[in-house]
Amino acid sequence: MHGYAEPVPRRRLIALPLFLISGVLLAGCEIELAPGAIPAPISIAPTPSESAGVPKYVCSQTYKILTEGAVQLAQQAAGSGDETTAAMKQTLTGMAAQVDEELTRATDPGLRAALLAISADLTEGAEQPKDYLTGGFETVGQRLDGHCE
């Protein structure tokens, strides 16, 4: 005897949660999650001040703005009425302002043009937010293609 417990094999640690999940699914149970309970797809630390202007950091920040905005818009889109439309407009114009802030940090002309186009697209989309969500918003991030690696 060595005086301490043997570690549980990794297979067992993985198998237990999988077994529990499969049991829930096979039993026909429904699991409901509130939209706010799901974290944003990515989380990127703020741009370090000494790295401002470096394309990969500007791109990361822009992707973060678009991702967090998409999560917020998805929650807002579940509602209806004038208040919901106003909240969506505010979110889109806020996103455009944040992209404009990143635009001031970008030094690459192609990246600057892409950011300017994204900002203009978000601002225009704020005029008809529900239509924009099912149209242009789905591809707005593609404007960064070729400028971000």
This prediction has a pTM of: 0.63
43 pLDDT band, cuts 50/70/90, is: very low
Q: What is the mean pLDDT of the chain?
A: 74
Burial of 59 from C-beta contacts in 10 A (0-12 / 13-18 / 19+): buried
The residue that leads in pLDDT, 96 or 34, is: 96
The residue that leads in pLDDT, 105 or 27, is: 105
Residues constituting the chain: 149
pLDDT given at position 108: 86
CA-angle at 33, arms to 32 and 34, nearest 5°: 125
Three-state secondary structure call for residue 139 = coil
